Structures are given as structure tokens and as C-alpha cells.
Amino acid sequence: MPEKPMPNETLELSHEATSAKEPFWVDPTSPEAISAAKAYFAKRAASDRGDVPGWVLITLMTAGLVVMMWGIAGPALQGVFDAAMNKVVAF
């Protein structure tokens, strides 16, 4: 029975496993490739607990930055918009 690789080691495929038939990743629609992808994403989804407080903080900080920038740049952007609309209407 082969040893389990350490977390930072890569698992190398033996010659016997790859020489018997074409590797499953050659055809991404093969049942083996689909099964491997499902197992991979199921493992990733189970280990992903998320970071809700972090995302809430990022969202609030982004909203604050947008409000601050809008307050500073709002009049200048309004002037640019009005000038562009006047050119379109005059056309």
C-alpha cells in the first residue's frame, strides 16, 4: 500500500497507472474525469467555512470609500456629464 504524501508533497502517478490506458484528464467529459472533479470540488466545498465578518467589513469599507469619493468627485463628474450631454444634444 503506497504511503500518503505529506501536505506539501506532490503525488506522482506510477508508470503502471498511466501506461495501461489513456489518462482520464485527456478527455474532460469522461466519467473518470467528471468523478474526479466532483470529488475535488466536494472536498473543497466541505473545507470552506467562509469568513462572513471579513466580507461584511470589506463591504462596509467599500461603501464608505464610494460615498467619500462621490462627495469629493461628484461636482466634477456632474460637470463632465453635463458637457458631454450638451455636445450630444447640440449634434
Q: pLDDT truncated to tens, each residue of the chain (91 aa)?
A: 455 555 555 555 444 444 556 665 677 788 888 888 888 888 877 766 667 788 899 999 999 999 999 999 999 999 999 999 999 998 7
Residue 18 confidence (pLDDT): 47
The count of domains in the chain is: 2
Residue 61 confidence (pLDDT): 97
* 80: alpha, beta or left? (left if phi > 0; alpha if psi -120 to 50): alpha
Domain interval for residue 39: 15-48
What cell does 91 get?
449634434
Residue 15 confidence (pLDDT): 46
Residue 2 lies inside a defined structural domain of this protein:
no
**Nearest one of 1, 91, 7 to 47, comparing CA atoms:** 7
Residue 81 lies inside a defined structural domain of this protein:
yes
**Nearest one of 22, 25, 3 to 12, comparing CA atoms:** 3
Shared-domain flag, residues 30 and 44: yes
Shared-domain flag, residues 42 and 56: no
